[in-house]
Amino acid sequence: MAKDKDAKDPFVTEITPRSQDFSRWYLDVVRRAELADYSPVKGCMVIRPYGYAIWELIQQALDKEIKRTGHVNAYFPLFIPNSLLTKEAEHVEGFSPQVAYVTHAGGEELEEKLVVRPTSEAIIGTMYAKWVQSWRDLPILLNQWANVVRWEKVTRPFLRTTEFLWQEGHTAHETAEEAEAETRMILDLYATMCESLLAMPVVKGRKSESEKFAGALRTYSIEAMMGDGRALQAGTSHNLGQNFAKAFDITFQARDKSVQHVWGTSWGVTTRLVGALIMTHGDDSGLVLPPAVAPYQVVIVPIGRDNWRETVLPRALELQQQLRQAGIRVTLDEREERPGWKFAEWELRGVPLRLEIGPKDIEKSQVLLARRDTREKAGVPMDGLIDRVRELLDEIQSNLLQRAIQFRSEHTQNAETYDAFKAAMDGRPGFVISPWCGDAACEAQIKTDTQATIRNMPIDGAAPAGGCVRCGQPAVASAWFAKSY
């Protein structure tokens, strides 16, 4: 493991306290835990091995779910001919400010400039138009794991970067009902994944017109709450209706022999989830990782005086082997550093369980286990150690989720009047649930006044009885407002 030049600090403390400056704290954790680094390309990050290992665990678990629900993976080109991107008017309008172009290649100016994909509806739609002839060809249920580029003015590692990694699902269906069912099924899948894997509760709902995906009929999102009370959009699922099918001429012969346009969906989650993880669970000592996505679930730290390599290390290596064979991700820190320094370093990296073993423990045939989430520390007999480790990892996973749910409920309130709404947004930040009239101008005014946006609205919720929190007109939904990332 590479060390920073100042890694000899007695304690790995160079982290700004969260309460002092949350944004600074976040950047400190990203850097000190070696999750990512800035690159020579403005706005683009390098994902370092420890950060990439977290992403891989998310990716593997999600890939399994995507496949379990009947989808298959494919790969489409990075470049999209400009003429294709411009076919769907709303889509191009939404994305053009963020698009990067290739104008020269092979030493010549290209006849048609190429878009570096900001998303792949245009190229995938073009291919679907070739592949779909009859209702028998439907549904198409594809996913791709890829990078995309969206030129950003202000960037922050994992949360908003010019290039990022994601998966994008693209499906085509025979009927509107099937497309809607797919869109919502994926939304549920994302929500379950965030809760079970990332221990991160999310609010599922529908986006307002102004916040929906450019070119979609409607967009659903999952919204999480970060440790500073700001909301973070953690994933989106779009019902594209027939918009892209019409733009790209994706037609099929229906069962009644008529020619119809397919009904589409697209959906994605990104490396932003790594940022979400940091900001949901982290504390002033650094990262706190849920065991399900921790590259190391257990770190073994040998304790001992000068001759620990002879007295303690052999037993520590045996334990490492046992844990590994039990399928637990484990590392052993045998560097020549003081144990206290190692403790701080692995706390910074968020390892859920620390296993300490010294000469006295060996005599007593026990080890010490320290939890990262609660910092509780207890002696555990070596007999039955594996079972105890498994139990504790499960407890940590569920404790982190409970803690995050608790935090969210403490930071969620209702406001019926605009004064109460503004006071809530000005005070302790979080979600504020308020009736809204459905008017985009009213939504924009709320944003101007308070910086808060509608994160989403309940999918099947009935219209609330009262009037819009700002304008008093009849409300169409109880919207979840928040300041967001």
Chain residues binding Zn ion by CB under 5 A are 437, 442, 468, 470-471
Per the CB < 8 A criterion, the answer to whether 144 and 77 are in contact is no
Q: Between residues 382 and 468, which has the closer beta carbon with respect to Zn ion?
A: 468
Q: Which is nearer to Zn ion, 32 or 470 (CB)?
A: 470
Strand partners, 151: none
**Would you give the distance in Å from CA 94 to the centre of its chain?**
22
CB of 471 to Zn ion, least distance (A): 3
CB of 472 to Zn ion, least distance (A): 7
Instruction: Assign 99 to helix, strand or coil.
Output: coil
Count the Cβ atoms, other than its own, within 10 Å of residue 67: 13
Q: Cβ of residue 211: shortest distance to Zn ion, in angstroms?
A: 16
Question: Is residue 165 packed enough to be buried (19+ CB in 10 Å), middle (13-18) or exposed (0-12)?
Answer: middle
For the bound state, the minimum distance from the C-beta of residue 475 to Zn ion, rounded and expressed in Å, comes to 8
CA torsion sign for 82, 84, 86, 90 is negative
Question: What is the closest distance, in whole angstroms, from the C-beta atom of residue 422 to Zn ion in the complex?
Answer: 14
- C-alpha separations of 236 from 196, 233, 243 in Å: 18, 8, 18
Least CB distance to Zn ion at residue 155 (A): 33
76 to each of 99, 116, 119, 148, 359, how far by Cα in Å?
18, 12, 11, 12, 57
Confirm if 57 and 292 have CB atoms less than 8 A apart. Answer: yes
**Do 484 and 233 contact (CB within 8 A), yes or no?**
yes
Nearer CB in complex with Zn ion: 27/471: 471
**134 forms bridges with which residues in the sheet?**
253
Instruction: Specify the residue, 272 or 470, whose C-beta has the smaller distance to Zn ion.
Output: 470
We find the least distance from the C-beta atom of residue 425 to Zn ion, in angstroms, to be: 16
* Integer Cα distance of 99 and 117 in angstroms: 8
Q: Return the number of the residue (248 or 436) whose C-beta is nearest Zn ion.
A: 436
Residue closer to Zn ion, measured from CB, 123 or 469: 469
Full DSSP string of 368-432: EEEETTT--EEEEESTTHHHHHHHHHHHHHHHHHHHHHHHHHHTEEE--SHHHHHHHHHSS-SEE
Q: How far is the CB of 451 from Zn ion (least distance, A)?
A: 17
Question: Residue 312 and residue 309: Cα distance in Å, rounded?
Answer: 6
Beta strands in 150-202 (DSSP E): 163-173
Minimum gap (Å) between residue 146 Cβ and Zn ion: 39
- Token digits for 124? 């995938």
Is the distance from CB of 421 to CB of 432 less than 8 angstroms? yes
For residue 180, the surrounding DSSP H or E stretch is helix 176-196
CB of 413 to Zn ion, least distance (A): 19
**Counting every residue, how long is the chain?**
485
Q: Which of 185, 471 has the CB closer to Zn ion?
A: 471
In the complex with Zn ion, the residue whose CB is nearer, 82 or 450, is 450
User: Toward Zn ion, which CB reaches closer, 119 or 453?
Assistant: 453
- Name which of 187 and 468 has its Cβ closer to Zn ion: 468
